[in-house]
């Protein structure tokens, strides 16, 4: 055992379970790649101010959870706690919005970092797949992203998740609601930190998970009663597009999400089999974020889905993914000359696209066949001294136990056809 261990609240992905994480990332990204979204990758750290402006200085992410540090050169940086601000920054820096083809549709996958209290489903290092549609104000974009996430989850075999949907209004109608909500909240028995939040961003108080706070929020004014006609019509069209596509959702009038940049459409994917950490993903529209970080007005919408929590959701439903075999053929040489000759065959098989492994380290036949069994290979390819003189290798079907000789120069073609 090593002297060192993974930092608290983090985890290592190792075979065979890592294959499930890869399959989840692939399933989430597949509908995006099929819908005009191009891949983007950003640094693991950014200027602190990018997140302070974009995510919101009043959020727990910025005030309590962000990993911030100063470089030797005096720069103030932070490990990225979420993906949207970084992706929008990258798109603006590259002037993608000036190419004349809006919206700019991007997807990404990576690790994110928040200093949270570790528990099952909540880590300090976690993995997400995200998507952003930048530069267009269109209810169809909001609906598209929700539909694609729903499609991704269903392709994995998930069924017991729910989509929560709300509208947060915009700069025209939210101020009046903000004032009404502040008046209500100031009459409650709240701690000093929460009272400070009432002054900075009262909607964040609605997202407070503490039971004593939630109990007092009964009777709080609802945003739906303050939406302007434009926001109400926009939200209704999103709802109609989802219903027409056969995507079920639940209206949640208290859904605000945990980031300050959201406007209008906001949504969350929850799975009731995960206990308190029920959110497996979510997102919404963020029409003012570009201006917050120094860019032009670019109405945008996006989401991020948690890979870790999606895996937990699969476990909660008892869903086992049909994962491709990592090894189809396991080659077992007996003797030095056989080792050299069979290694050449292994190289040819790999070039032909056959997943092949090799018994390294001079293992005896018994130990090598145990290794072949552990690898999960469908076939074992055994070559001994007598086989060499006859110009054949023994091909063993690991399921049936049947074995047959195959000419050395016909192995690639034989296995290629069997595994096609």
The answer on pLDDT for 60 being more than 70 is no
* Residue bearing the bigger pLDDT, 207 or 137: 137
Q: Quote the CA–CA distance of 324 and 102 in Å, as a whole number.
A: 37
Share of the chain above pLDDT 70, in %: 97
Q: The dihedral of CA 74, 80, 81, 83: what is its sign? A: positive
CATH of domain 18-173+227-317: 3.30.930.10
- Label residue 386 by pLDDT band (50, 70, 90): very high
Residue 207 has a pLDDT of 76
CA angle 132, 137, 139 (to 5 degrees): 90
In the predicted model, what is the mean pLDDT of residues 60-66?
A: 75
Among 163-172, 196-205, 246-255, where is mean pLDDT lowest? 196-205
Would the pLDDT of 1 be above 70? no
What integer best gives the mean pLDDT of the chain? 91
Looking at residue 260, what is its pLDDT?
65
* Residue in 25, 143, 40, 30 with CA at minimum distance from that of residue 84: 40
Band (218; pLDDT cuts 50, 70, 90): confident
pTM of the model: 0.89
Q: What is the pLDDT of residues 16-49, one digit of tens each?
A: 899 999 999 999 999 999 999 999 999 999 999 9
Find out whether 95 and 295 touch, Cβ atoms under 8 Å: no
Where does residue 100 fall: left (phi above 0), alpha (psi -120 to 50 degrees), or beta otherwise? left
Which tens digit of pLDDT belongs to each residue from 248-263? Answer: 999 998 887 656 678 8
Indicate if 329-418 has the same CATH topology as 18-173+227-317: no
Looking at residue 198, its pLDDT comes to 85
Q: What percent of the chain has pLDDT over 90?
A: 70
Reported confidence tier of residue 225, pLDDT bands at 50, 70, 90: confident
User: What is the CATH code of the structural domain delimited by 329-418?
Assistant: 3.40.50.800
Q: Which two tokens stand for residue 373?
A: 């069994």
Q: Decide if 280 contacts 27 (C-beta within 8 A).
A: no
The pLDDT-based confidence of 57 (bands split at 50, 70, 90) is low
pLDDT band, residue 373 (cuts 50/70/90): very high
Show me where the domains of the chain are located: 18-173+227-317, 329-418
| Mean pLDDT along residues 281-287 | 94
Residue in 6, 85, 23, 8 with CA at minimum distance from that of residue 310 = 23
How many CB atoms are located within 10 Å of the residue 355 CB?
Answer: 17
Question: Would you say residue 59 has pLDDT above 70?
Answer: no
**What is the structure's pLDDT at 58?**
57
Give the Cα separation of 47 and 77 in Å (integer): 4
Angle at 360 (CA atoms; ends 357, 366), nearest 5 degrees: 90
- Residue keyed to tokens 């009404």: 180
Tokens 């930190």 correspond to what residue? 193
pLDDT, one tens digit per residue, over 335-357 is: 999 999 999 999 999 999 999 99
């Amino acid at each position: 055992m090593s002297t060192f261990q993974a930092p608290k609240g983090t985890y290592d992905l190792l075979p065979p379970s890592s294959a499930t994480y890869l399959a989840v990332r692939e399933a989430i990204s597949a509908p995006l790649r099929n819908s005009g979204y191009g891949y983007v990758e950003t640094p693991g750290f950014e200027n602190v101010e990018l997140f302070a402006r974009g995510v919101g200085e009043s959020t727990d992410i910025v005030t309590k959870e962000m990993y911030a540090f100063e470089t030797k050169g005096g720069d103030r940086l932070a490990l990225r706690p979420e993906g949207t601000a970084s992706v929008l920054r990258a798109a603006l820096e590259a002037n993608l919005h000036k190419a004349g083809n809006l919206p700019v549709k991007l997807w990404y996958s990576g690790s994110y970092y928040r200093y949270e209290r570790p528990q099952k489903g909540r880590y300090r290092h976690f993995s997400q797949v995200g998507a952003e549609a930048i530069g267009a104000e269109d209810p169809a974009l909001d609906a598209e992203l929700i539909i694609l996430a729903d499609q991704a989850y269903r392709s994995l075999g998930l069924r017991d998740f729910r989509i929560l949907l709300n509208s947060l209004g915009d700069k025209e109608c939210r101020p009046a609601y903000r004032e009404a909500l502040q008046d209500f909240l100031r009459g409650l028995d709240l701690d000093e930190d929460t009272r400070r939040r009432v002054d900075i961003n009262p909607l964040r108080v609605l997202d407070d998970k503490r039971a004593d706070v939630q109990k007092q929020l009964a009777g709080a004014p609802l945003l739906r009663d303050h939406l302007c006609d434009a926001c109400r019509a926009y939200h209704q069209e999103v709802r109609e597009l989802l219903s027409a596509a056969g995507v079920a959702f639940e209206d949640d009038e208290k859904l605000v999400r945990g980031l300050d940049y959201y406007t209008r459409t906001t949504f969350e994917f929850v799975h009731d089999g995960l206990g308190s950490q029920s959110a497996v993903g979510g997102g919404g529209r963020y029409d003012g974020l570009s201006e917050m970080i120094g860019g032009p007005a670019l109405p945008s919408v996006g989401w991020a889905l948690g890979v870790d929590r999606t895996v937990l959701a699969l476990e909660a439903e008892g869903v086992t993914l049909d994962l491709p075999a990592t090894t189809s053929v396991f080659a077992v040489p007996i003797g030095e000359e056989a080792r050299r000759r069979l290694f050449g065959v292994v190289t040819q098989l790999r070039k032909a696209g056959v997943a092949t492994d090799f018994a390294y380290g001079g293992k005896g036949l018994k130990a090598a066949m145990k290794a072949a069994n552990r690898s999960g290979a469908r076939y074992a390819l055994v070559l001994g001294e007598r086989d060499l003189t006859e110009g054949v290798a023994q091909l063993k079907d690991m399921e049936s136990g049947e074995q047959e000789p195959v000419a050395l120069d016909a192995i690639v073609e034989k296995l290629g056809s069997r595994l096609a």
